[in-house]
Amino acid sequence: MKVLCYGVRDVEIPIFEQVNQSFGFDLTLVADYLNSSETAALAKGHDAVILRGNCFATAEVLELYKEWGVKYVLTRTVGVNHIDVAHAKELGLKTAYVPFYSPNAIAELAVSLAMMLLRHTAYTVQKTAQQDFRVDAAMFSKEIRNCKVGIVGIGRIGLTTAKLFKGLGAEVLAYDAFPKEGVEDICRQVSLEELLHESDIVSVHAPFIPENGRFITREFIANMKDGSILINTARGELQDAQALLEAVQSGKLAGLGLDTLEGEGEFFFKDLRGHKLADPVVEELIQLYPRVLVTPHIGSYTDEAALNMIDTSFTNLQDLMLTGASQNEIE
């Protein structure tokens, strides 16, 4: 079984090789994304491809794959929007995805961003890096055990985030569109309004559902405590970026931590130093560092998450090969 894996980063190569010891696939690992006819052609001579986000298995690409004898088009992501699944089905190509991986990966990033903003770490080290060792009022901080943290969406990632904040001593409030049972020892479930009114830090872990539109709106922000901190490591499409910008500029939000931005494909993973960004709102948000902290969608960029994604993808492929079916086939 010859398998081409797209978008493989150097740090992931040893993990691919380690996991493959139990599978024995003939692997080709490439850094390229599937985003052009040239990178599509890399699949010639392979039985299967494993994609990442920003790899686009369009109808045209799938037709080529079919012609070249590629039988399996898998993705090592939770999201599957980058594969034309209906067309793959028509062509008889099998597809599968990774339903979940280490929730701690994203939860730890959310906590890190929140703690950096609460303790003014970025602000402070920016000064000491310039040999300015004075202590000023902007470095004075509330302790997390004196804070209420509001978690929006207590699924896998949100609940893990809640546990981490609870472990740090915070009082954790939670709101989920579908209230959960058995979480009372970690968090207190309240209405969204109460959560926003009460919380010093709000961390969003709800999915983006296009029909529901934006979730972090002007009204959402207006309901938050003055001088609170907002973290979004879920999806950029959830937020009204202009409203966030104004909230930080006015001081309504003391800090903002984002791992995702709407339209992030235009700039994340690129070196744009010295260039103007196409989106002026994003440009202004970035300039508000260190009150605004932006990470380029690195929530899942950890050892454990990579291991989970690769292991599940290889298991999916093996199941499809041996039985013709996988529990993670894309419907």
Ligand X SMILES: NC(=O)c1ccc[n+]([C@@H]2O[C@H](COP(=O)([O-])OP(=O)(O)OC[C@H]3O[C@@H](n4cnc5c(N)ncnc54)[C@H](O)[C@@H]3O)[C@@H](O)[C@H]2O)c1
Residues that bind ligand X in the complex, under the rule CB under 6 A: 78, 100, 106, 152-158, 175-178, 205-207, 215, 233-235, 259-260, 297, 299-300
**Residue 26 or 303 with smaller CB distance to ligand X:** 303
Helix extents (H) in the chain: 13-20, 37-41, 59-68, 85-91, 103-118, 121-128, 156-167, 192-198, 218-222, 241-250, 280-287, 303-323
Nearest CB to ligand X, comparing residues 27 and 51: 51
Q: Which amino acid is at 168?
A: L
| From 171, 198, 262, 264, active-site residue | 264
205 catalytic? Reply is no
Q: Given the residues 52, 82, 120, 297, select the one marked as catalytic.
A: 297
297: annotated active-site residue: yes
Q: 69 in the Ramachandran plot: left (φ > 0), alpha (ψ -120 to 50) or beta? A: left
Nearest distance from residue 236's CB to ligand X, in Å? 9
Query: Is residue 216 within 8 Å of residue 164, measured between CB atoms?
Result: no
Tell me the closest approach of the beta carbon of residue 188 to ligand X, in angstroms: 15
From the centroid of its chain, how far is CA 39? 25
Query: Which residues are registered as beta bridge partners of 5?
Result: 29, 50
Please identify the residue of the shown chain whose CB is closest to the bound ligand X: 155
Estimate the share of the chain in helix, then strand, then coil, as percent rounded to the nearest 5: 40, 15, 45
In angstroms, what CA-CA distances link 4 with 34, 47, 235, 316? 11, 8, 28, 15
Query: Please, which residue, 74 or 258, has the CB nearer to ligand X?
Result: 258
Catalytic residue among 120, 235, 237, 291: 235
Minimum CB distance to ligand X, residue 56 (Å): 19
Closest approach of ligand X to the CB of residue 324, in Å:
28
Cβ 16 to ligand X shortest distance, Å:
19
User: Based on CB atoms, which residue is closest to ligand X, 109 or 248?
Assistant: 109
* Cβ distance to ligand X smaller for residue 128 or 212: 212
User: Which residues are marked as active site?
Assistant: 235, 264, 297
